[in-house]
């Protein structure tokens, strides 16, 4: 069977950036499973998996707009260190949950200079073109419960 809406597909993948650096990979792990047509994975990859079947291999280049979006510099903010009271030492790379108008967001500290902390609420992969090397390992029909929930249950999916 081929991948279409309400298929559960599993695949191994290697994700590289435009310079060829590996950002993520399923190597040595379970394949990633997702419910096709439910927005579980980025749109630029999902559309290329439609119609594929077990054993198919593909290389897909996804522009930022179909991956994690363009970077938004308005999501970069300078904050006084006093806002981080309760944190022993603020360092670049730390992540915090922040309440914003869009709900809870993860912001990452990009730099600390004196009493000024620069935080970035962009997704780490925002603004990047992403290259996926994919091998399809399984395709099956989703169960009714999976369709109702909008995600995959069992290995590689939600356990609940």
Chain residues binding Zn ion by CB under 5 A are 149, 158
Q: 27 vs 14, 80, 105, CA distance in Å?
A: 8, 41, 29
Nearer to Zn ion, 3 or 35 (CB): 35
Longest dimension (CA), the chain: 59
Least gap, CB of 153 to Zn ion (angstroms): 6
- Which residue of the chain is nearest Zn ion when measured via CB? 149
Least gap, CB of 87 to Zn ion (angstroms): 35
Nearer to Zn ion, 47 or 158 (CB): 158
Least gap, CB of 47 to Zn ion (angstroms): 24
Phi, psi angles (nearest 5°) of residue 41? -125, 170
Nearer to Zn ion, 33 or 122 (CB): 33
DSSP 8-state class, residue 83: G
Least gap, CB of 149 to Zn ion (angstroms): 3
CA distance linking residue 36 with residue 130, whole number of Å: 20
Nearer to Zn ion, 101 or 145 (CB): 145
CB 146 within 8 A of CB 82: no
């Amino acid at each position: 069977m081929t991948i279409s809406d309400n298929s559960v597909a599993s695949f191994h993948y290697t994700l590289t950036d435009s310079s060829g650096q590996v950002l993520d990979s399923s190597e040595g792990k379970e394949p990633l499973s997702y419910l096709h047509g439910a927005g579980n994975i980025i749109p630029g990859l999902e559309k290329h998996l439609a119609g594929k079947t077990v054993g198919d291999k593909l290389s897909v280049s996804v522009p930022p707009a179909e991956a994690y979006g363009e970077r938004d510099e308005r999501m970069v903010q300078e904050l006084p260190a006093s806002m981080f009271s309760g944190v022993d030492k603020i360092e670049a790379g730390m992540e915090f949950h922040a309440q914003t108008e869009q709900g809870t967001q993860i912001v990452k500290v990009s730099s600390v200079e004196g009493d000024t902390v620069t935080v970035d609420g962009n997704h780490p992969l925002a603004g990047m073109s992403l290259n996926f090397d994919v091998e399809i390992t399984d395709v099956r029909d989703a169960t009714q419960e999976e369709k109702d929930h909008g995600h995959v249950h069992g290995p590689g999916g939600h356990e609940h």
